Chain A
């Protein structure tokens, strides 16, 4: 089916329509302990149609139907049985083509090269002489072609190559420690250099080994905390990004992802100290969550969700923006052609400050440095959360001392952000897969931040 033909036909029948086409090719390579465990190729293409009819939205998708009239009929029928009366914010209709550039093209990178690279990485890890009985790597590359048209006149074409990778390591020393880290990049196989994958992975092995062999019991009680960029990033994603999703705030996700402790009228309200500014920026080139236009054709821009400790802006689709009487800020994303675009994060990060690591640590008398995390958990309103350190250390009199095992921070969202009294200048991003909604939509994201200092938080 041709998307412009569908749009032309449906325009007369609906108040608004948009048609999306997506074609993707994904190669996956799984390696366990240096041996190939699986090589998979996935090819997917399909079309979706979203219509607004008398205030109701209908959404249909297919990867097999060729009957345009039936496709349109089903969408209208869905919209007619949608009882809510919604609208879409009025937005500029763009005609554009965008593409992510690649230095080492996915199309030109053979399976043999990927296998060799990962086997070499595995060998380098083993060369550290650390006991790592389980080493699991998964590498995915995806080429995505998208076309989008809507009845406001938007017409956008996109070409988006992406690379994703994770390792899952089990290190055995006096105790067993496990490490998992995800990497993501929009572009080609230059990603491996950008990530500095070999050095990061070897640091991980050494860090886990330290904890496994020298890790002491984590102290409990009130103390200072230095969160490494990975911990700062997950906190920004979970306790700022999610609760500022407008659909959660409006209750639309209450049966699925959950609600938010933030209400519509809380913009300007204090949630943290003046050192806390958290941004969401899909326009970072080559980021995992990169896009130039969102899933509704709205131009992407940076958004400051928390600004200098205050709730500042929500993540919007055209529908939620209309309900609040504002413009969309281009945060509507869909995981594929067969899902509706809804307010989502792309690249969420704690905006860095000026402090060096040495300046951050120097006046901590006693505390914990949580370099990264092994587990996190948060409630359905994004208020009460828990982070457990993976590679963590005691800080005494401004110096890093012994490694500690699994320090547990349980804290509320304002409790966390109000305790921040300094932010470092070492901004880093980690990749993640963010899940939301029903039908479930898993999306590629970056989350990040610098090392941040928290005063007097409670470890359990």
Chain B
């Protein structure tokens, strides 16, 4: 039924080229606070996105109605013709074979509110085995089916499931956090997550004040995940690069960090792999920073056409800006214990909160630590400390990378259906510019 409508659209001869996609999503969310479930939400959503090209003029329309497709196409023609020709537009992508990816898990698709409630109960009860006050969080399961067709022969669809859970545990003066995400709900250890967050909360009780300044840091994977996502926002997209707003500008081929390797591999199933992007272009492995050297930004067909290149398969639905969604920070051979033992005077950071970019070209971001910050002295955790504000260039920090863990963790950024697989890091210098009262 959906395919029939889409085929009819791509056969519209009034456009030189036309592309249509449909995203069908079913999201269920169970939220809990004060150790009790307080919100259960279920959403079914379908949207149709059409891009039309006439004489290099490009128009886009998005609708949730499948009833008035003829009317929608008429409107699209009108807005497309009103545009000026875009000389940078080369072509929508042609059809290319893609690899098969297994991203659909029946267990996730069929999970019920009763099962989510039971899982949350396990987590909450486990956390309460320790002397804590309350547990909060959100547990989400989602199904998406994506169709993409264009007038050049692309005709593909793909279905996927995701599940994600984050939890905060609080006691009188302590805060703890844990999260997990996977395509398969069977991969979750609910008791383990409750235990991790509660243990961190207890460790973090009665935090003391310390002076802001430059410290060595051991960053948990949660914190590294946030840094990676902000790096993406500040410059791994070809749009930012072409508009000279990216930190990669003028740096391709140059060493910009310590020996770290960051890549985007859409086919690696240890992350949220997809066989092709939202234009139907097959996914591939793209090195972004290789052993500290800036190598590539990611492209969709438009940004690639502008530079006479091939798309790297990073088109995003409903956006003209390509974006990496399957990031990997290459692991090392260390572990958290070694990182702590190698720290003379530093901080163990669980996660960052309310992060904002200050200077995109210099990759300077600011934000607060949250849910567990600890002082390390002479290789040992001494005591929890009150949250600190940091203001730090990511690249400058990554120039001081000393240890990288072997173990990695998947952190999601759900609004794009993407993920970051990240290790823990030990960095030599990280600047904290302020403190708070808790």
Measuring CB to CB, which residues of chain A are less than 8 angstroms from any residue of chain B?
A: 32, 35-46, 56-65, 74-75, 77-84, 86, 111-112, 115, 134, 250-256, 258, 338, 340, 375-381, 383-384, 386, 388, 410, 412, 438-440, 460
Contact = CB atoms under 8 A, between A and B. Distances in A.
A383 B38 contact: no
Contacts of A37: 320
A377 B159 CA distance: 38
Contacts of A62: 43-45
Contacts of A440: 415
B64 A81 contact: no
Nearest to A110: B82
Given A41-B61, A43-B64, A388 B117 contact: no
Contacts of B387: 379, 384
B117 A438 contact: no
B39 A59 contact: yes
B133 to A, nearest CB: 9
B27 interface: yes
A384 B46 CA distance: 41
4 tightest CB-CB pairs across the interface, nearest first? A78-B40, A384-B436, A81-B113, A84-B38
A17 to B, nearest CB: 15
A251 B62 contact: no
B353 A258 contact: yes
A256 B136 CA distance: 9
B134 interface: yes
Given A64-B46, A254-B33, A39 B59 contact: yes
Interface of B: 24, 27, 29-34, 36-47, 58-65, 72, 75-76, 79, 82-84, 113-114, 116-117, 134, 136-138, 140, 166-168, 170, 243-245, 320, 353-354, 356, 358, 366-368, 370, 387, 389, 415, 433-438
Contact of A81 (B63, B117, B167, B353): B117
A74 B61 CA distance: 31
B434 A384 contact: yes
A32 to B, nearest CB: 8
Given A44-B47, A57-B40, A258-B353, 18 more contacts: A43-B62, A46-B64, A62-B44, A63-B45, A80-B113, A81-B114, A82-B40, A252-B34, A252-B38, A254-B134, A254-B136, A255-B31, A379-B436, A380-B368, A383-B438, A384-B389, A384-B437, A386-B434
Given A111-B79, A254-B170, A379-B436, A59 B60 contact: no
A254 B368 CA distance: 15
Contact of A35 (B60, B64, B84, B245): B84
Nearest to B28: A78
24 contacts: A39-B79, A41-B62, A43-B63, A43-B72, A44-B63, A46-B64, A57-B40, A61-B41, A61-B44, A61-B45, A77-B113, A78-B113, A80-B113, A81-B114, A83-B32, A134-B244, A251-B34, A255-B136, A255-B168, A258-B354, A375-B358, A375-B366, A379-B389, A388-B358
Residue among A79, A255, A386, A410 facing the most chain B CB atoms (10 A cut-off): A255
Given A39-B79, A438-B138, A78 B63 contact: no
Contact of B138 (A75, A111, A255): A255
B38 A439 contact: no
A11 B175 CA distance: 42
Contacts of B356: 375-377
A135 B339 CA distance: 46
B368 A41 contact: no
B242 to A, nearest CB: 11
Given A45-B65, A78-B113, A250-B34, A112 B40 contact: no
A86 B38 contact: yes
Nearest to B371: A380
A59 B45 contact: no
A75 B113 CA distance: 11
A339 B318 CA distance: 21
B136 A82 contact: no
B75 A255 contact: no
A58 B436 CA distance: 38
B281 to A, nearest CB: 20
Contact of B38 (A43, A45, A57, A111): A57
Nearest to B84: A36
Residue among B58, B353, B415, B436 facing the most chain A CB atoms (10 A cut-off): B436
A115 B81 CA distance: 13
A384 B84 contact: no
B116 A63 contact: no
A81 B30 contact: yes
